[in-house]
Structure 1
Amino acid sequence: MASWAERAVFWHVYPLGFTGAPGAAGDGPVHHRLRHLEAWLGHAAELGCTALMLGPIFASETHGYDTVDHFAVDPRLGDDADFDSLVARAREHGLRIVLDGVFNHVGRSFAGDHRWLRKGPDGANDTFEGHDRLVTLDHGQEAVRRHVVSVMDHWLSRGASGWRLDAAYAVPPGFWAAVLPRVRARHPEAWFVGEVIHGDYADYVARSGLDSVTQYELWKAIWSSLNDRNLYELAHALGRHDDLLATFAPLTFAGNHDVTRLATRLDDPRHLGHALAVLFTVGGVPSVYYGDELGLRGLKEEREGGDDAVRPAFPASPAELDGSGREVFELHRRLIALRRRHPWLARARTRVTHLDNRTAALHTSAGGQALLTLLNLDDGPYRFPLPDDGPWAGDGDADPALVPAHEWRVLTTPPGAPLLLPGE
């Protein structure tokens, strides 16, 4: 994995929604909405993020995942000059940019060679998961491989640092295994993460040559275990997550553009900090979906337009925020700061040293360094048995092992290392 990605914390943005772009492309003039995003780079940097993960920015018919021209910025967002400006301004804030590449399928009005499209048994174009407007590329064709290499090279040469590969789970892993070495030959520091929802993550990474895949199993376990107050589910998922870290660092998240927001998903708002404490203290490459750092709510629905609530427009600048999300922002900022003080966490392993339904101690370590995350979902305080590889840092005279009802702690060792409390 690229060295910079080992230390990355992403701010994930869906640009078409964020900038208030219309839902369908038209024949009107170019609108320079990417400039809107520039006003928020300081916000991402203040949060502590080191990279932007952008949703689709290329010319498309509607939502961006129906690409029609991989070499053109969507006119609803701007043009090449707007992209170049965004890259330059992001660098000034210490932020890299990873782009969303939709290479499994394209829109019906795709500008490329239509001989690249996969045909079904009846001779008609195959579609992606029943979506009539999304036609599938034929990944067995060398021409398609050359096209994807060319697209990746083009935008990496313009300043991007990597690619999120949409619907990677639908693409034969051998396709990426043929494409990525050609791209890495010119861009050895580029990072590639695939969207993989189910299945054998480690096997897909091994056969595809990707650096990472999306860790949906851990995402589900985080909110589900908190809602059910069943931390055994989380412990099981962390065991499987630990196995993945032997070969790669998964992309971890508590929210993204395709799922109900964490603040809506959680039954008990007191457990938001628990979810974030897990996200930022276990191995992987963490990502924050725009608005989650402000405690925004949004319900994903399985209907036309059902993503709109989780892909909202943002105001012109952070100065227009009403301040209601500042407490959640500060919680994210403190945990991200902790993460960045401990970059070894990217490949760290977690073992559960104490567990029952409502309390758990997560011991995460690598290279002789360790953190201990204490989670209490119970209605009363709980004094945790601490692992004997301490002593564990406390806060003044406070008992670091005693966690109040519905609270959490992150302890560090050796003594003198900073302790993180929910209200710091």
Structure 2
Amino acid sequence: MAWYEKAVFYHIYPLGLLNAPKQNEGAQLCERLQLLEDWIPHIKELGCTAIYLGPVFESATHGYDTSDYKTVDKRLGTNNTLKHFIEACHSADIRVILDGVFNHTGRGFFAFQDIKQHRESSPYTSWYKNINFWGNTEYNDGFSYENWGGHNLLVKLNQHNPEVISYICDVIRFWVSEFDIDGIRLDAADVLDFEFMKALRRVSNEVKPEFWLMGEVIHGEYCRWVNPDIFHSVTNYHLHKALYSGHNDHNYFEIAHTVKRLNDQLQGHASSLYTFVDNHDVDRIASKVTNKAHLIPIYYLLYTLPGIPSLYYGSEFALEGRKINGSDDPLRPALDLKSLTEEINDDFLLGLIRKLSTAKAEHDSLTYGQYIELLLTNRQYAFGRFTQTGGCITAVNNDDSPARIVVPLKGHGSNVVDLFTNQQILCENDNAIIELKANSGRLLWIKG
């Protein structure tokens, strides 16, 4: 059993959380990463077993325009600061994965700077896609190039170049030897070259046992990336969308259909997908839902549907956040944990998340159990996660009124209890009679 199969992630965007200057130029060295160590007990209490740490290496702005893959951004500290933080996480039995931004570099990267200086005679002209010395950009370099997302700040690497492949593979080896990381999240994986990704998987298989690769994939069939040759996992944006719109529209059919489609596509292995309700690129879930009470059933589903659940820093406090004029800054705020903890008026979500994390840790069926849909209406939804030795049932209600549902047990047993209250559930004729409060969920255990 690999560590990542049962993991619960906590996603941190460090430049935002730690209130680093938006621009690196002129910034002073500041070991802000030390402050993250104060978050470790909180992350542990939430039941998270791994941290996905957003970009930490030298860049000019937001971290995704890397200028040096082997030096920690001075706004966050030094290599020793990062090393010490990861050691502290490992001491708390928390794994750490880093952001690998290998589709493009920033303009400050040494290879790009060499092209600016030496133009056609630079040995690095083939490191980037479509360098054109007859073109130009708004930076007036006297040449143009392929970028990512229409942003000339992000210069597209030529992933067919063996020198580029070798360099990035050496970066992965360095990160493991220097920092002892446990995996990498591959930025913009849906536009990475497949042979390039295969090379990354091969080196990842060599550097450390159970080293985990997870790709950022937004559209497409996930099975193209999740396989023995490419990645262990990808971001489950399909479920992310279904979770909020399925509640806003009172349409559990959207969620159930998404789960079935992904499960069929991945031949029953949708549990390998990285599931989330918000992150550094999308509006906070508390801002997306039209009824905040729906956060309860949403988090029940995040934890108990097939997948590796992830929490985005601060969302456990039901923080809101929306993009403003296209800026992601409101999604990536500086936070003070002590103030958040003192100011919270209602810890209903924190308490639920802790209980769900404990349930996932203690009940293997929530990781390895076969997903079986048991009941589906627009406003109520129940499913089981079953193994040969037992299973759990999740039931959720998105209606403003209580609901009483009759859920078929399909021969899996009749001794059913609420996992959080230990209340015995009435069972008749191979059915469980489940009472659901308005906008709520329940997690039931079929005792052997």
The reply to whether TM is greater than 0.5 is yes
Task: Report Cα offsets for 1:23-57 as digits up to 9, x if no partner.
Answer: 01023431100011111111100111011100000
Distance 1:131 1:273 in 2: 38
**How many pairs does the alignment contain?**
412
1:142 aligns with 2:162: yes
Q: Which residue of 2 aligns with 1:30?
A: 29
CA contact (8 A) 1:20 1:313 kept: yes
Further displaced range: 48-57 or 238-247 = 238-247
What is aligned with 2:293?
270
Displacement of 1:380 after TM fit?
2.9
Q: Deviations over 1:281-333 (max 9, x none)?
A: 11211110001111111012452xx2111101111647864233533211111
**Offset of residue 184 of structure 1:** 1.5
Q: CA deviation at 1:210?
A: 0.6
1: distance between equivalents of 2:390 and 2:425? 23
Pair 1:316–1:342, CA change in 2 (3 A): closer
Alignment correspondent of 2:444: 411
Which residue is 2:345 aligned to?
A: 324
Relative to structure 1, the CA distance from residue 223 to residue 245 in structure 2 (aligned partners, 3 Å threshold; closer, same or farther) is farther
Deviates more, 1:267-276 or 1:321-330: 321-330
Q: Does structure 1 residue 214 correspond to structure 2 residue 235?
A: yes
From the superposition, tell whether residues 14 and 325 of structure 1 become closer, same or farther in structure 2 (CA, over 3 Å).
Answer: farther
Larger mean Cα displacement after TM superposition, 63-72 or 24-33:
24-33
Question: 1:119 aligns to what?
Answer: 130
| Residues 313 and 92 of structure 1: CA distance in aligned 2, closer, same or farther (over 3 Å) | same
What residue number does 1:233 align with? Answer: 254
Other-structure match for 1:292: 315
Q: Name which of 333, 354, 357 aligns with 2:378.
A: 357
**Match 1:185 to one of 198, 203, 206:** 206
The 3 A distance-change label for structure 1 pair 348 and 240 is: farther
Per the alignment, residue 84 of structure 1 pairs with 83
Aligned to 1:387: 408
Q: Which runs of 5+ in 1 are unaligned?
A: 416-424
Given residue 34 of structure 1, which amino acid in structure 2 is its aligned partner?
L
1:281–1:316 CA distance, 2 compared to 1 (3 A): closer
CA contact (8 A) 1:36 1:316 kept: no
Counterpart among 233, 239, 242 of residue 263 in structure 2: 242
* Compared CA separation, residues 177 and 200, structure 1 to 2 (3 A): same
Report the TM-score, using the length of structure 1 for normalisation: 0.92
Quote the residue 1:283 is aligned against: 306
Question: Would you say the 8 A contact 2:296–2:439 is kept in 1?
Answer: no
SS in 1 for 2:110: coil
- Compute the RMSD of aligned alpha carbons: 2.0
- Contact 1:282–1:349 (8 Å) recurs in 2: no
Cα distance change of structure 1 residues 411 and 21 upon mapping to structure 2, 3 Å threshold:
same
**Alignment match, 1:8:** 7
Summarize the Cα distance change of 1:24–1:367 in structure 2 as closer, same or farther, 3 Å threshold.
Answer: farther
Using the TM superposition, give the Cα deviation of residue 217 of structure 1 relative to its aligned residue in structure 2, in angstroms.
Answer: 0.2
Distance 2:353 2:159 in 1: 40
Q: Within 1, Cα distance between the matches of 2:357 and 2:213? A: 22
Deviation of 1:409 (Å):
1.0
Conserved? CA contact 1:12–1:287, under 8 Å:
yes
Partner of 1:420: none
Partner Cα separation in structure 2 for residue 396 and residue 218 of structure 1: 31
In structure 2, how many angstroms separate the alpha carbons of the residues matched to 1:333 and 1:397? 22
Q: 1:379 Cα shift?
A: 3.4
The structure with the larger Rg is 2
Q: Structure 1 CA distance, aligned partners of 2:107 and 2:388?
A: 51
Q: Which runs of 5+ in 2 are unaligned?
A: 113-123, 136-143, 427-432
Quickly say closer, same or farther: Cα 1:185–1:224, change in 2 above 3 A.
same
Partner residue, 1:156: 176
- 3-state SS of 1:401 partner: strand
Q: Is the 8 A contact 1:239 1:351 kept in 2?
A: no
Distance apart, 1:132 and its partner CA: 1.5
CA contact (8 A) 1:242 1:349 kept: no
Residues in 2 aligned to 1:401 and 1:201: alpha-carbon distance in whole angstroms: 35
Aligned to 2:141: none
* Overall identity of the aligned pairs, in %: 35
Question: Counterpart of 1:39 in 2: which secondary structure?
Answer: helix
Q: Distance in 2 between matches of 1:141 and 1:195?
A: 22
3-state SS, counterpart of residue 385 of structure 2? strand
Tell me which residue corresponds to 1:418.
none
Aligned counterparts of 1:178 and 1:155: Cα–Cα separation in 2: 16
| Paired residue type of 2:347 | R
- Report the secondary structure of 1:312's partner residue: coil
Amino acid at match of 1:146: S
Question: C-alpha separation between the residues in 2 aligned to 1:254 and 1:270?
Answer: 15
Give 2:244's aligned residue.
223
Kindly indicate whether the alpha-carbon contact (under 8 Å) linking 2:104 and 2:155 is maintained by their aligned counterparts in 1.
yes
Shift of 1:87: 1.0
Pick the aligned partner of 1:401 from 434, 442, 445.
434
Residue 348 of structure 1, aligned match among 360, 369, 373: 369
Which deviates further from its counterpart, 76-85 or 106-115? Answer: 106-115
TM-score for both structures, normalised by structure 2 = 0.87
Q: Who is 1:128 aligned against?
A: 148
Task: Answer whether contact 2:148 2:155 (CA < 8 A) is retained.
Answer: yes
Residue 67 (structure 2) pairs with residue 68 (structure 1): yes
Deviation at 1:207, TM superposition (A): 7.9
